[in-house]
């Protein structure tokens, strides 16, 4: 009887793939709907990735792009011996190490505020999320004006209280901390929303049980809240990490040229090599090495922190 049914269904236009049976007509319709998106993804995502991967093993230059030579691992080897790459990597790690805790705890703090504050909650939610809606270029220009050494608002205030003005974005030792702060300020709102949604999904019964057990607020936070949002925190942490490794626009706009190497990050370096110098081959090689680095760090972090399928 069962065998007959299968034969019957196949006769009506079904097929089996990897152990699952599909309706041919429905599948074709679904594929038709997917086709535009798939085509766009191939043209604008996968193809450039493959081309970039191939360029990493060439000496391609933007001006001679149709006439390049395969140089094997020469370009990749150059990446490891280039002191500028080492400097850019150091700066990027500095940025990542600075922005990750700052942005994460800011996002978590804001989410906790929104969870517990009912008065003016909508306004606060809008205010905290507002920087996310602004473009990086706009916020960079805004902060450049605020931090201007001569007539920026912050230095004017410092002068008013008798303090010396600070060359926030000109001084190599203060420029990167400023970029870290501004990036955390701008990005925290987005992570805040994700964490807030996770916070709101923690069952109230868990808090009630903790209160019955006479757990303090801090103990509730440690033993109920944090475990309850751990999978979300891991997700937020990893996406933040990947975003932080890609830092480019803020140093490019706020410290053009990388402030003598002090704010030259890996993405900015890759961009410079490709767009300013036309060195597509070298730029792709640096990008390839860097992608492997980010992927390795992300996977390691995911392994260490866990977060998969944890309730």
Partner 1 sequence: MKLSRLAPLALVGLFALTACGGSGQSNDIQQSESIDEQGSIHIVTTKIINVWVHKSESEDEGKIYKSIMENFNQAGIVAADGSRVQMTMEFLGTNIDTRISAALVTGGLPDILAVDSSEVAGRVHYDILKSIDDYVSAEEKSSYVDSVIDQGTIDGKLYTLSAMEAPGGLYYNKDMLKAVGYSDADFGTIENPWSWDDVHEAQKKLYAANQPYQINLHNGFGTDGDMYFYSPLIYSAGGDFGTDNHVKEALTSPEALAGLKELEPFYGTEGLGSNERWIYEGSNDLAFVQGQIPFSIYGPWDVTTIRNDYPQFANSYGIMPYPVYEDASGKKSGRVAIPCGSYAFGITRDCRDEKMDAAVAALLYLTGKEASEELYYGIGTYPTNKESLANIPELKEGPAKVLADSLNANEYTRPKQIKYPQLREAFGSILTYMKNRAYYGNDYDLDGYVAQQAQIVDNDQISN
Binding residues for partner 1, rule: CB under 8 A, are 25, 28-29, 32, 35-36, 39, 43, 59-66, 68, 84, 144-145, 148-152, 159, 164-165, 167, 170-173, 256-261, 272, 275-279
Look-up of token digits 């912050």:
154
By beta-carbon proximity to partner 1, the closer residue of 152 and 228 is 152
Long-range contacts of 226-230 (CB under 8 A, 24+ apart): 228/198, 228/199, 228/201, 228/202, 229/195, 229/198, 229/199, 229/202, 230/306, 230/307, 230/310
Nearest distance, CB of residue 66 and partner 1, angstroms: 5
Nearest distance, CB of residue 46 and partner 1, angstroms: 15
3-class state of residue 279 by DSSP: coil
Round to whole Å and give the CA distance between 108 and 194: 10
Nearest distance, CB of residue 149 and partner 1, angstroms: 5
Residues facing residue 58 across a β-bridge: 70
By beta-carbon proximity to partner 1, the closer residue of 71 and 112 is 71
CA nearest 193: which of 226, 229, 224?
229
By beta-carbon proximity to partner 1, the closer residue of 42 and 295 is 42
Round to whole Å and give the CA distance between 216 and 211: 7
By beta-carbon proximity to partner 1, the closer residue of 21 and 170 is 170
Q: Which residues of 169-193 are buried (b: 16+ CB within 10 A; e: fewer)?
A: beeeeebbebbbbbbbebbbbbbbb
- Give the tokens for residue 238: 């990893």
By beta-carbon proximity to partner 1, the closer residue of 29 and 200 is 29
Nearest distance, CB of residue 152 and partner 1, angstroms: 7
Nearest distance, CB of residue 145 and partner 1, angstroms: 5
Nearest distance, CB of residue 273 and partner 1, angstroms: 9
| φ, ψ for residue 15, nearest 5 deg | -140, 160
By beta-carbon proximity to partner 1, the closer residue of 3 and 63 is 63
Nearest distance, CB of residue 175 and partner 1, angstroms: 10
- Give the tokens for residue 21: 């049976």
By beta-carbon proximity to partner 1, the closer residue of 144 and 238 is 144
């Amino acid at each position: 009887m069962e065998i007959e049914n299968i034969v019957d269904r196949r006769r009506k236009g079904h097929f089996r793939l990897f152990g699952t049976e599909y309706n041919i007509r429905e599948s074709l319709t679904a594929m038709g709907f997917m086709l535009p998106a798939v085509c766009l993804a191939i043209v604008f995502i996968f193809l450039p990735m493959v081309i970039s991967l191939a360029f990493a093993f060439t000496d391609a230059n933007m001006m001679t792009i149709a006439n390049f030579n395969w140089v094997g691992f020469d370009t990749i080897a150059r990446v490891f011996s280039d002191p500028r790459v080492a400097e850019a990597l150091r700066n990027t790690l500095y940025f990542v190490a600075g922005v990750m805790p700052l942005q994460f705890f800011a996002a978590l703090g804001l989410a906790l505020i929104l969870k517990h504050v009912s008065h003016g909650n909508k306004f606060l939610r809008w205010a905290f999320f507002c920087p996310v809606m602004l473009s990086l270029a706009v916020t960079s220009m805004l902060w450049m004006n605020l931090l201007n050494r001569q007539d920026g608002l912050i230095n004017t205030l410092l002068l008013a209280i008798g303090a010396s003005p600070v060359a926030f974005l000109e001084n190599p030792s203060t420029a990167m901390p400023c970029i870290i702060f501004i990036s955390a300020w701008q990005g925290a709102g987005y992570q805040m929303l994700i964490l807030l949604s996770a916070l709101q999904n923690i069952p109230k019964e868990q808090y009630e049980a903790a209160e019955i057990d006479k757990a303090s607020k801090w103990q509730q936070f440690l033993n109920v809240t944090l475990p309850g949002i751990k999978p979300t925190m891991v997700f937020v942490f990893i996406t933040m990490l990947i975003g932080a490794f890609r830092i480019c626009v803020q140093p490019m706009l706020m410290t053009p040229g990388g402030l003598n190497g002090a704010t030259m990050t890996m993405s900015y370096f890759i961009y410079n090599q490709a767009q300013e110098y036309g060195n597509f081959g070298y730029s792709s090689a640096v990008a390839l090495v860097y992608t492997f680095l980010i992927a390795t760090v992300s996977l390691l972090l995911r392994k260490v922190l866990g977060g998969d399928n944890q309730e």
